Amino acid sequence: MMPLSRINENAMFALKPPKAIKRPLVTRHHGIKLSDEYAWLRVENWEEAMNEPSLLPADIRTQIEAENSYAEAMLADTAELRQLLLAEMKDRIKPDDSSVPLLDGPWAYYSYFVAGMEHARLCRRPSGGGIESILLDPNLEAVRDRDQLVRSNL
């Protein structure tokens, strides 16, 4: 019987990576001619497209989805190991870990994890003490993004 790793290896060789079409864009900067064959993959609204992939032009989205599918297929046999490594890394972080405050003018900036949450909350407080201001709570942003995604798929 052939070892499992050999079977997966043979299957991987059968997969062909997606190839992006070359569409040269020639520009000149400071008298130097530059050619970028993949400039068509760049979009001005990349930040919005990160949150809402449907904003991408169809040809770019198709290319990215093909590359993601290829990567997922190539890494499929490592899924269990990746989950194990992620769990181990999470176990090494204290659930309520925090940074040392960084003084900057009248403010002290710091971050801390809330137990059970995945991302650190970024905060500041007056250097002499006072009420904490939460500058960014990525955990709340993730919930908002998830809720928005669910609403958009209804």
Domains of the chain, residue spans:
1-79, 91-154
- 60 near 46, Cβ under 8 Å? no
pTM: 0.56
Structure tokens at 27: 């520009």
* Farthest-apart Cα atoms in the chain, separation: 71
- 49 near 43, Cβ under 8 Å? yes
CA distance 114 to 153: 30
Lowest-confidence pick of 57-66, 95-104, 142-151: 142-151
The pLDDT of residue 5 is 52
pLDDT tens per residue across span 90-144: 888 777 888 999 999 999 999 999 888 888 999 999 998 899 999 999 988 877 6
> What is the tally of helices (H) and strands (E) in the chain?
5, 6
